[in-house]
Amino acid sequence: MDATTLAKPLLGGLLVGVAAAALLHFNGRILGVSGIVGRLIDGPHEDRGFRAWFLGGVLAGALALLAWSPGAFGASKATLPVLALAGLLVGFGTRLANGCTSGHGVCGIGRLSPRSIVATVTFIAVGMSAVVVARKLGAGW
């Protein structure tokens, strides 16, 4: 493995960590993407500006990365129905867990929250199990 292959995920993780720490330090908010996006419409009116700017920044960052490095996202082997089902299951899971992987995994574990540690271990275990089952069934992803 070359240095570039190792540097990209390390840089990405560093940027996510710095962004989460900055949001908590300067705004007192947890970087939980599903919560920020989920409360964009039904959340308190005074929070909508922050949430819209956050979502715009996420989309702008993704578009900038796509322009800078078109192969960064790769191609999915999954079909559109499988991707749609996966998205629905992720949305259901974030509601069930009262947060998403970014809120629990990045911020919650960083704050040593027992609930977030259990949630993150559960996310990982279920994800690993889903891959094993899908491969056994020959899903191809």
Is there a domain that residue 127 lies in? Answer: yes
Sign of CA dihedral 32, 35, 41, 42: negative
**Both tokens of residue 131?**
């891959």
Exposed (0-12), middle (13-18) or buried (19+): which is 103, by Cβ within 10 Å?
Answer: buried
Task: With cut-offs at 50, 70 and 90, classify the pLDDT of residue 117.
Answer: very high
pTM of structure: 0.69
Is there a domain that residue 135 lies in? Answer: yes
pLDDT at 91 over 70: yes
Task: With cut-offs at 50, 70 and 90, classify the pLDDT of residue 125.
Answer: very high
Is there a domain that residue 134 lies in? Answer: yes
Q: How far is CA 14 from CA 7, 30, 66, 88, in A?
A: 10, 17, 19, 29
Task: With cut-offs at 50, 70 and 90, classify the pLDDT of residue 103.
Answer: confident
Is there a domain that residue 25 lies in? Answer: no
- Give the domain extent around 85: 76-141
Q: Where are the alpha helices (DSSP H) in 1-141?
A: 3-27, 33-42, 48-68, 80-96, 101, 109-110, 114-136
For range 88-107, the mean pLDDT: 83
Is there a domain that residue 90 lies in? Answer: yes
Q: What b-and-e string marks burial along 29-47, b requiring 16 or more CB atoms within 10 Å of the CB?
A: bbbbbbbbbbeeeeeeeee
The string of pLDDT tens digits covering residues 14-57 is 988 898 889 889 988 888 888 888 888 887 888 888 889 989 99
Is there a domain that residue 96 lies in? Answer: yes
Count of structural domains, the chain? 1
Is there a domain that residue 133 lies in? Answer: yes
Among 106, 85, 89, CA closest to 36: 106
- Cα separation of 124 and 97, whole Å? 13
Collapsing DSSP to helix, strand or coil, 112 comes out as: coil
Is there a domain that residue 5 lies in? Answer: no
